[in-house]
Amino acid sequence: MVEITNIEVYNLERAVVASGNAMRLEPAECTKEEFERGLERCKKLAKLGGGTGNSNFRTGILVTFDLKYPQYFSKQIQRYHFLQYVSSTSMMHRITKMDFDKCCNKYVSKAVKNIVNRLVHYYNMFQKYFYHIKEWNETVEAYCSYLSYLEDDNNFTLDDDVFVDRANFLYDCYMRIISNCPMGAELTVHVSTNYEQLATIYKQRKSHKLKEDWGAFCKFIEELPYAKELIIGEEANNE
């Protein structure tokens, strides 16, 4: 399930002070007094809501964090254009090294995890015995037998082109791993975003059906500095 760690917030004071620049000829100093005046102004601007330009100061309040997420969650969070994946675990590079008993959420069944772990085992065996004829042939026989069991078909056979060279066995096995990877498998990404985008996310996801995942994400938003005043302000105004 979603877990958020290593949270950092940048430029909050400067962005709050800068919210008054429309009425200035020169930028103000970021003093305690200017910040307090700016904060009162920003509370009012936040209540006016996004899409009006009034809350644009929030784009200057930057947030970074590490996000642990299941695969189905990534399809939803990546729709937000101002939420950037800085760097993430590569499923393509690491899937054959993953232990699916440990990297899946609690809703992935043992049977599903066993299947993918077994396919990962065969892939690594193919790599290990790539140049060992006897062991290679034994692994091919075991692999084909396992696929026949999975398909519940005693007459199951691989396509002829798989047998042309050994690299095709690696490819076939890899594609079965990546294609059968459960949506509950979890990876980690470092994320960069801002208060304006988080305000949009909060508004859209606070009552989402995925209550454990989006619930954890919205709780993270609620606990950011001045979140009630600057992020959730428009929500509080409408309730």
Q: What is the pLDDT of residues 90-133, one digit of tens each?
A: 888 899 999 999 999 999 999 999 999 999 999 999 999 999 99
Do 151 and 198 share a domain, yes or no? no
Q: Mean pLDDT of all residues in the chain?
A: 90
Angle, helices 133-151/166-180, rounded to nearest 10 degrees = 40
Do 117 and 169 share a domain, yes or no? yes
Do 113 and 220 share a domain, yes or no? no
Distances (CA, A) of 184 to 38, 82, 83, 113: 43, 25, 22, 10
Whole-number pLDDT of residue 164? 72
Q: What is the pLDDT of residues 220-233, one digit of tens each?
A: 999 999 999 999 87
Do 171 and 227 share a domain, yes or no? no
Count of structural domains, the chain: 2
Q: What is the pLDDT of residues 185-228, one digit of tens each?
A: 999 999 999 999 999 999 999 999 999 999 999 999 999 999 99
Range of the domain at 230: 3-89+185-238
Read off the pLDDT of each residue in 137-162 and give the average, rounded to a whole number: 87
